Structure 1
Amino acid sequence: MASVHIPCPRLGFACPYNGSKTRNIARLRTHVYSKQPKIIAEATNVPVVRRSANYPPSTWSYDYLQSLTNNYVGKKYEITWHRLKEKVRTMISEDTVVENLLATLELFDDLQRLGISYHFKDEINNVLKMIYICYYEAHDKWNTMDLSLKALGFRLLRQHGYHIPQVLKDIKDETGNFKAYVREDVVGMLNLYEASFLAVEDENILDEAREFTSKCLKEMLDIKNIVNQSMSMLISHALELPLMWRIKRFEAMWFIEAYKRKSDMRAVLLELAQLDFNIVQGIHQEDLKYSSRWWEGLCWNKKLSFARDRLVESFMWAVGANHEPSYDVLRINVTKSIYLVNVIDDVYDVYGTLDELEQFTEVVRRWDINAAEGVPDYMKICFLGFHNTINEMAYNTMTNQDSFVLPYAELERGDVPKSIQCYMHETGATEDEARAYVKSLIKEAWKKINKERLSVKSPSLQMFLECASNIGRMGQFTYDRGDIFGAPDDLYKSHETALLFEPKS
C-alpha cells in the first residue's frame, strides 16, 4: 500500500513550535535537488493490457459540494452560541467538586461525548487537577468511593495525562474473583468496562475487568435484564466499540441523540451541543468546498479515471483527525494527502505495468520533474499533481510556521498482504480465529498508545499524538467491514450525510 509519511506536526497544527528553527542543510537528501539523468521508457509495439478495479463513481459531485450552504451563520446564532457557552462555563467550578464529585465527573464525560468539551479545556483541566490532588493521589481515599466514582475518575484522569496506577484492586476478593457488588452495579460495570481500555501493558487487573464486565453486560442484554432503555442503548453502544476507540465527532453525532433520552439530561448542554454541531458542520462544509476546488483543478478524477475518486471520504478522515474549528489547515492538508495516496495506490495496484511502476518509483525518489519526461502521460499527470501539492503544502508550512518539512515527506511503496490472510496462511487458523488474533493485537497496540499519551507533556506533541491516534481510529472504522473506502456501503454513506450535510435539530 502506498503511503505518504510526514512525521512532523507542522502541517496545520496551531500549537507554537518551541524547538530550534535552524536546520542542518547537509542532512537534506541530496538526490532531491541534484541533476539526474532522465528516465526514458523504451518504445514498444506490444499493446498494454490494463486492469480495472471497477470502483463505483463518487456519490458527491463537484457542483453539489460547491452548492452546500449552512443556515447556522450570522449574529443571531453567534450570540446564542456564546451565551450557552457561558452558561455551561458556570457549571464547571471547583465548588461543584466539593458538593458532588461524581456529578462533576459525569458532567465532564457528557461534555466530551457531546463534542463540546473543547470550549472548556482550561476549566476542565483545572478542576481535574484539583480532583486528582484531593481524591485520587492519596490511594487510601479510594476505599470510600463507589465503583462508578473509581472507574469514571480513573478513565477521565488517564485521558488527561494523569498516571494513576492500577488502584482497582479492591474490586476482587481474597480468592481472586470479582466481588458480588460489582455485578450488581450496572452503571459501575459500564464505567469499569470503559476504564479498562485505558490500560497500559502489564495491567492484568484491567484486562480481567474488561473480560468480566464485557461478559456480564452481554448477559444482561441477552436476558433483557436492564429495564432502563437509555442504559440498555448505552451498553449496546459500548460493547460494539469502546469510547477510547471511537472518533470524537462520530461519537458526538450519536450521543446527542442518545442524550435526549437520558432522565438526567440537561437542556442547556443539549442546546449547546446541537448548535455547536451545526456551526462546526458549516465550517467543515467550507473546508470541503475549498478542498473540492483543489480536487477539481487537479483533474485526476477525469485524467486518472481508473482510480478511486474519493474526495469526501478523504475529508471524512480529516474530520476524524481533528474536527475543532481552528484546525482547518490540518483538515485540508490531511484531505489532500489521503486523496493523493489512494490514487497513487491504484496506480500501483490496478493500472501500472511493472516497468512503468519501476520508472515511476525512481521519479518519485528523485523528486525531480525533469526525470518524469520518459514516463507515460498518465504518470506525468500523477507525479506533477503529487509533486506540486506536496511542495505547496511544504511551502505554506515554511512561510506560516517556520518549519521545513519537505525532507520528511516521502512515498513508500510495497504490497502489504492483509494481516488476517497472512495469519491464516502461516498458522492454518480459520478466519474467525485470525480475526480474534488480530483484535488482540489491536488491544495491545492501544496499550502502547495509552502509555505514550501518559508520557507526553508538550501541548503540541499531545495534539499530534491525538491526531495520529484518530487516524488509527478512522482506519478501524473504515476497514472493519472491508474496503469501505473503495466502495462505501450504506452505513458509511449515512455517516457522511449525517456528519457533513445534515444539521442537528
Structure 2
Amino acid sequence: MASGSMVSVFQPSAWSEFFSRYERKPPKRSGEWMKIRIGKLKEDVQMLFKNCSNSLERMNLVDAVQRLGIEHLFEIQIETALSDIHENEPSSSNLHEVALRFRLLREHGLWVSPDVFKKFKGEDGTFNEYITNDPKGLLCLYNASYVLTHGEPELEEATSFARHHLKSMAPSLRSPLAEQVKRALHVPLPRTYRRLEALSYMPEYEQEAEHNPILLELAKLEFNLLQAVHLKELKAISEWYSDLKGYVGLSFARDRVVECYLWGYFLFYEEEHALPRMIFAKLFFLHILLDDTNDVGATLEEYGKLDAAIQRWEESAVSLVPGYLKKFYNKLLICFKEFDDELRLNGRYSIDHIKKEFQQLSSCYLQEAEWLHKNHKPRFEDRLHLGAMSIGAIELCVYAMVCMGDEMPEGALEWVLGYPDVVMACARIGRLMNDLAASSKPRNNRDVANCMECYASEHKVTEEVAFAAIDSMIEDEWKTTNQARFKHGHDLLPAVQRVINFTLSGPVYYGDRKDAFTFSSHLEDIIKSLFVNPIPI
C-alpha cells in the first residue's frame, strides 16, 4: 500500500533549494570591520550601563537592549543592573516606570508583588480613569500584566482594563506608539520572541527622540553579522537534507528543514551555539520524517514494525522494517552516531538521553495510530497527555540540554529529564495551539481526534465553547511558564529561559489558528527577515 514514492499531500516548501544556491550580496563593510566596530560599540554600551545615574535610566537601557536583540552581549551588565533595581524600593508614582520595573524584574526571575499597582487604583479597587490619559504607561501596564502567575486576579484585571482602553485609543495614536500597541494587542511583549521584536523595534526606536545611536548601530551590525553565520548554516543544513532525502526517499513527508532550523534558532540564535542549533534542527527534521511516516506514509502494521526496530536500536533490527522504510531506519542510526561523535568531540553529553526520548516519541506516534485504527475517541485528559508527549516539545527540550552540555547550569540535564512544569507547559501550549489550528481546517481522515474534538465530545458542548475552554487552558499554561522563573532557583534560570524561548515559538507557528509549520507560506516573511534581508545601515 505505502511506499516512499507516494506523492506528498503537503504544501511544498518555498525554500527547497533556496539556501543551497543563495549567494548573499557582499556587504559594504567587511565582516572583519564589523567585528572590530561591534567590539568598540560594546565597550561604549558597557560605559552606558556604568554611567546610569538612576533606576529609570537603568531600566530604559535594559529594555532597549533587550528589545533591540542584543541582550546576549550584556548579560552581566543586565543582571547587575536589575539586581540593583530589585534591591531598591520603588518610590515612583509614574505608571510607565512602575510597570516597566515589574515586567523586567519578573522576566529575569526577580519577584515583585502585584501590590505595586495599588497606587493606581481607587478605593473601590478598580484602576483610576486618569491613567487612560497615559497611553505609553497603559501599554507598559498591559505588557507587564502578561508576566502573571497563578492566583493573581489583579493582573488579569489589569490586562482587561489596559486592553479595553488601548483598543479604543489605538486609531488616534501616532507612530511609533501606534505600531507598538497594535503589535502588543496581537501578541503581548512577554510572549513575543525577542529576535522578532528586534526587527520591528529597530525602526521604531530610531524614531524616538531620546534614542541612543550607539545602541541602534550595534543592534544593526550584530544582527547582520549573525545573519551571515546563520546563512552559512542554512546552506549546510539544506545540503544535508538534500542528501538525506535522496537516500531515504519518503517523498510523502513535509519538506520543512528550514522551518526546523528556525525552531532551533528560537532556542539558540547566538553565534557560539552553532553545534546545538544544527543538531537540534536535524533531530527535529527526523521527528518530522517519523511523524509523517506514521500519519500519511505507513499502515499501522508497517509503523508498528518500524517502531519495534526503533525500540531495539541496533543494525540487525532492520530486518523487522518494511522494505521502503529500511533506508530511513539505517539513516536514523547513522545520524545518531554522527550526532554522538560531534557531541563527544565538543565535550557535551552522550546521545543516550536523546535516543531514549526519540524512542518514547515513536511509541507515542504508535499509540495515536492505534487509536485511529480503532476509531477511538479518548477522554480529553488522555488525549492531552499523549498529545503533549507526541508534539515533540518535551523531547526537544531534553535535546537542547544535552546539546548545550556544560554551557547550561549544573543539574540542568537532570532537571529537564524530570519533565518539570515549565517543560510540560511548553508541550501543552504547543499541543493545544496546534489542535486549535487543526480544528480550523478540514479534518484529515488519517488524523486522530484532536483535543478540541475530544473536549467537545466529552463535555457535550459546542465547538465555540470548546475553543474558549482550550484558550483558557492555554492561559493557565502561560501562568505556569511565568511561575517557573521563581520556582527552580536562580542557578537554573538560564535553563528555564531556554525552555521559555522554545515556548515563545508557539505563537509564531500556531498563532491566529494557523499551522504555519505545515502550511509554511505563513512563515515566509519571517524567514526572509531573519535570514535573507539584512538590516539597512
Question: Shorter chain as normaliser: what TM range?
Answer: 0.7 to 0.9
Query: 1:78-93 to 2 correspondence within 5 Å?
Result: 78-93=35-50
**Match in the other structure for 1:117:** 71
- Displacement of 1:165 in angstroms is 1.9
Query: Which residue identity lines up with residue 357 of structure 1 in the other structure?
Result: Y
**Match in the other structure for 1:212:** 161
The Cα offsets for residues 311-353 of structure 1, whole Å up to 9 and x where unpaired, read as: 1111111111221111111110121111111111110000101
Question: How many matched pairs?
Answer: 445
Contact 2:13 2:520 in 1 (8 A): no
**Match in the other structure for 1:18:** none
TM-score normalised over the length of structure 2: 0.78
Query: Which residue identity lines up with residue 58 of structure 1 in the other structure?
Result: S
- Displacement of 1:202 in angstroms is 0.5
Contact 1:484 1:492 in 2 (8 A): yes
Moved more, 258-267 or 110-119: 258-267
- Displacement of 1:399 in angstroms is 4.0
Matched residue SS, 2:535: coil
Aligned match for 1:186, one of 122, 129, 135:
135
2-structure distance, mates of 1:474, 1:446:
13
1-structure distance, mates of 2:60, 2:464:
37
2-structure distance, mates of 1:422, 1:257:
45
Aligned match for 1:421, one of 453, 460, 463:
453
The Cα offsets for residues 147-179 of structure 1, whole Å up to 9 and x where unpaired, read as: 111110011011111111222223222212112
- Unpaired runs of 5+ in structure 2? 369-386, 388-448
Contact 2:306 2:322 in 1 (8 A): no
2-structure distance, mates of 1:486, 1:120:
36
Moved more, 249-258 or 332-341: 249-258
Q: State yes or no: 1:503 paired with 2:517.
A: no
RMSD across aligned positions (CA): 2.3
- Displacement of 1:232 in angstroms is 1.2
- Displacement of 1:301 in angstroms is 8.0
**Match in the other structure for 1:382:** 328
Q: Which protein has the bigger helix share? A: 2
Q: State yes or no: 1:60 paired with 2:34.
A: no
Change (3 A) 1:269 1:402: closer
2-structure distance, mates of 1:215, 1:184:
13
Aligned match for 1:317, one of 258, 263, 278:
263
**Comparing both chains, which one has the higher relative contact order based on Cα–Cα distances under 8 Å and sequence gaps of 6 or more?**
1
1-structure distance, mates of 2:203, 2:520:
24
**Match in the other structure for 1:479:** 510
1-structure distance, mates of 2:190, 2:169:
22
Contact 1:68 1:285 in 2 (8 A): no
Matched residue SS, 2:350: coil
Change (3 A) 1:115 1:438: same
Contact 1:172 1:179 in 2 (8 A): yes
- Displacement of 1:397 in angstroms is 2.6
Contact 1:52 1:350 in 2 (8 A): no
Q: State yes or no: 1:272 paired with 2:304.
A: no
**Match in the other structure for 1:5:** none
Contact 1:148 1:188 in 2 (8 A): yes
2-structure distance, mates of 1:266, 1:436:
43
Query: Which residue identity lines up with residue 270 of structure 1 in the other structure?
Result: L
2-structure distance, mates of 1:397, 1:244:
33
Query: Which residue identity lines up with residue 162 of structure 1 in the other structure?
Result: L
The Cα offsets for residues 121-161 of structure 1, whole Å up to 9 and x where unpaired, read as: 1112112111111235xxxx4xx431111110011011111
Query: 1:308-387 to 2 correspondence within 5 Å?
Result: 308-387=254-333
2-structure distance, mates of 1:446, 1:440:
10
**Match in the other structure for 2:427:** none
Q: State yes or no: 1:233 paired with 2:179.
A: yes
Give identity over the alignment, percent.
29
Q: State yes or no: 1:163 paired with 2:118.
A: no
2-structure distance, mates of 1:279, 1:457:
34
- Unpaired runs of 5+ in structure 1? 1-46
**Match in the other structure for 1:14:** none
Contact 1:391 1:406 in 2 (8 A): no
**Match in the other structure for 1:74:** 31
**Match in the other structure for 2:96:** 148
Change (3 A) 1:78 1:125: same
Contact 2:268 2:277 in 1 (8 A): yes
Aligned match for 2:52, one of 96, 105, 114:
96
Moved more, 421-430 or 81-90: 421-430
